Chain A
Amino acid sequence: TWPWSPQREAAALRESLNRHRYLNSFPHDNSTAFYGVNQFSYLFPEEFKALYLGSKPAWAPRYPAKGQTPIPNVS
């Protein structure tokens, strides 16, 4: 729902490049994730989130640790 324009796309790309520099700047071993230009680099983070991150959080009960069984209510 954002007005598309080449200027907007260029600004989003610049912001992405700055973000990549920051994300890749941390000391890391060669297995750590690396970041860079991909099909989403022309979107601002809020656009990316609105378009592609569509899941709602969902609460789930804690998995009972091994050996732990729920203690029945004992009066």
Chain B
Amino acid sequence: LPLRFDWRDKHVVNHVRNQKMCGGCWAFSVVSAVESAGAIQGKPLDYLSVQQVIDCSFNNYGCRGGSPLGALSWLNETQLKLVADSQYPFKAENGLCRYFPPSQSGVSVKGFSAYDFSNQEDEMARALLSFGPLVVIVDAVSWQDYLGGIIQHHCSSGEANHAVLITGFDKTGNTPYWMVRNSWGNSWGIEGYAHVKMGGNVCGIADSVAAVFV
């Protein structure tokens, strides 16, 4: 494992987005992972439609919440093409699902894998290197007040309630940490990111980890 790795350095991670007052973190994390997986394969790094997942993923609840793994299962089973955000822009509320003709361009999920990597965060780092940014679910209650630094206390692996995207890790300092891309805008945390200590399953970050294939 390298001491430091960040998919942002490879220009395959879009800028942080803002879910506003919509509980759609589960959709933002999945769509961001699809965007990066496509870019790693050489596709353009376009913003894809989060609203399409919010409106059409019938096994979830839109802005009232959902499961990233449920969304990935739905995308994989339906082979739905995620269209560009410009085609189906985010409006921070539930709406009627819009359908597009088969000729519409887009990115579909060819598969995904999800594992519990607790106590195996080095293996999780290898998965990040191999497959790209990882969708994780954390307990983010204490993130309400977060301003910066490495989260290592006050963040149990209790009840997972927030979906985010891990884009990298840094083990060069005294405290190794994950680089975690959030969806609360770039004025939150460290330009929209949080640093979470690697090891010890802080915030439950390793409990449910998914990699996406497009």
Chain A residues in contact with chain B, CB under 8 A? 16, 19-20, 23, 26, 28-29, 31-36, 38-41, 43, 45, 48-63, 65-66
Given contact pairs A33-B151, A52-B23, a sample of 11 additional A-B residue pairs in the complex whose CB atoms are under 8 Å apart: A32-B149, A32-B150, A33-B149, A33-B153, A38-B145, A38-B187, A45-B144, A52-B19, A54-B26, A57-B137, A60-B115
Q: Looking at chain A's contact residues, is the secondary structure mostly helix, strand, loop, or mixed?
A: loop
B154 within 8 A of A: yes
Contact B65 A55 (CB under 8 A): yes
Contact B24 A36 (CB under 8 A): no
Contact B65 A56 (CB under 8 A): yes
Contact B150 A60 (CB under 8 A): no
Chain B residues positioned under 8 Å from A43 (CB to CB): 144
Contact A41 B145 (CB under 8 A): yes
Q: Which of B25, B68, B144, B146 contacts A33 (CB 8 A)?
A: B146
Contact A16 B145 (CB under 8 A): yes
Contact B150 A54 (CB under 8 A): no
Size category of the B interface is 35 or more
Chain B residues positioned under 8 Å from A57 (CB to CB): 67, 137, 159-161, 208
Give complex CA distance A51, B183 in Å: 13
Give complex CA distance A27, B25 in Å: 32
Chain A residues positioned under 8 Å from B163 (CB to CB): 55
Chain A residues positioned under 8 Å from B175 (CB to CB): 29, 31-32
Chain B residues positioned under 8 Å from A53 (CB to CB): 23, 25, 140-141, 161-162
Contact B152 A32 (CB under 8 A): yes
Contact B141 A45 (CB under 8 A): yes
Contact B184 A63 (CB under 8 A): no
Please list the 7 inter-chain residue pairs (A to B) with the smallest Cβ-Cβ separation, ordered nearest first: A54-B23, A54-B65, A63-B115, A35-B145, A33-B149, A53-B161, A55-B163
Contact B150 A33 (CB under 8 A): yes
Chain B residues positioned under 8 Å from A59 (CB to CB): 116, 208
Expressed in whole angstroms, the minimum distance between the Cβ of A13 and any Cβ of chain B is: 12
Give complex CA distance A49, B174 in Å: 32
